Amino acid sequence: MGIITMHDIVTRFLMPRERATFGDFAGEKLRPLSVPIEGVMSSPLISVPPEGKVKDAVSLMRENDISSVLIEERERCMGILTKRDLLEAFIKFSTVKERRRVEVQFAGDYDDIDAFQMSHIQSDLDVLAKKLAKIYEEGLLVVHFKRIKAGIEASEAGEASEEAGEHFNIRMRFITPQNVFSAQAEGFGALDVFERVKDSIERKIFEEKVLKREKRRKERGHEREP
What's residue 108's pLDDT?
A: 87
What's residue 163's pLDDT?
A: 43
Give ∠ CA 217-221-224 in degrees, rounded to 5. Answer: 140
Protein fold of 102-224: Double Stranded RNA Binding Domain (3.30.160)
What's residue 222's pLDDT?
A: 58
Question: What is the residue extent of each domain of the chain?
Answer: 6-91, 102-224
CB atoms under 10 Å from CB of 224, counted, come to 6
- Indicate the CATH number of 6-91 among 3.40.50.300, 3.10.580.10, 3.90.950.10, 3.20.20.80: 3.10.580.10
Question: Which are the contacts of 52, defined by CB distance < 8 A and separation ≥ 6?
Answer: 71
Which regions in the chain score pLDDT beneath 50?
16-20, 23-25, 96-98, 151-163
What's residue 171's pLDDT?
A: 93
